[in-house]
Amino acid sequence: MKKNIVLFILFVLPIVAYLFFASGVNSFTTLPVITPKVADFGNWKSLNGKKVLLDKKITVLGFAGSNILENRGNYFNLNEKIYKRYNGFEDLQFVVLCPLGTENEAQKIVDALSPFTDVKNWNFVFASNEEIQKFYDQLHLKEKLDQHLGTSNVYIIDKERNLRGRKDKEEYKEGYDTFHPSELSNEMLDDFKIILYEYRAALKKNHNATKQL
């Protein structure tokens, strides 16, 4: 009997623990709203000239800052861990707000990603320093932008323009640090799955399931 218990502890429990953590599902059933109804973008230009809006899109939002090329590794991390995995969803967009004057630097990022990634859902959008700061301030986040008007964090905004994250005091999270691939693979991926599950469930409930989400 003792031998069986020892074998169970040595072989079965590790497998059960692995399956639990590998499932990639956190303890939340829904992802709380951190900031409701954030304002949409202004009439700002993007690299490809198309108008980019938050409304009716699930958005992964970043703030590049004027030193965008110095932090290009962050975008490669996000591209590998999140973007390439979910790029096929039509209702999903990745948007990076950049100061006016950084268009050439942003294009270099896109050019570096394009040989191994379909970059159609990468959107680099340009606004004045004042507009970027004003937009960020209305998100009411604890973290502040750096002196270049950038941050390594990205944020999840749902189709109703609510910024989503974790409100629990011990696990509070309003953004996800692209400098750390492990945070993207764990916390962000878990939370992102919840957002997608919400919309898939809504589509199914309305008998309107499509390939969009």
Q: What CATH number is given to the structural domain containing 51? A: 3.40.30.10
Q: Is residue 15 part of a domain?
A: no
Q: Is residue 55 part of a domain?
A: yes
Two tokens at 191? 């939370």
* Separation CA 14–CA 119 (nearest Å): 40
Statement: residue 208 has pLDDT above 80:
no
Statement: residue 19 has pLDDT above 50:
no
Q: Is residue 25 part of a domain?
A: no
Statement: residue 133 has pLDDT above 50:
yes
**What SS3 class is residue 25?**
coil
Q: Is residue 136 part of a domain?
A: yes
- Residue 26 has a pLDDT of 45
Structural domain of residue 175, as residue ranges?
33-211
pTM score over 0.85 = no
Q: Average the pLDDT over 172-190 and give the result.
A: 96
Two tokens at 175? 């953004």
Q: Average the pLDDT over 39-67 and give the result.
A: 94
Q: How many CB atoms lie within 10 A of CB 87?
A: 16
Instruction: Give phi and psi for 69, each to the nearest 5.
Output: -70, -30
State how many domains the chain has. Answer: 1
Mean pLDDT of the chain, nearest integer: 86
- Residue 150 has a pLDDT of 97
Q: Is residue 23 part of a domain?
A: no
- Residue 205 has a pLDDT of 66
Q: Is residue 53 part of a domain?
A: yes
Q: Is residue 3 part of a domain?
A: no
pLDDT band at 88 (very low <50, low <70, confident <90, very high): confident
Q: Average the pLDDT over 19-36 and give the result.
A: 64
Q: Is residue 17 part of a domain?
A: no
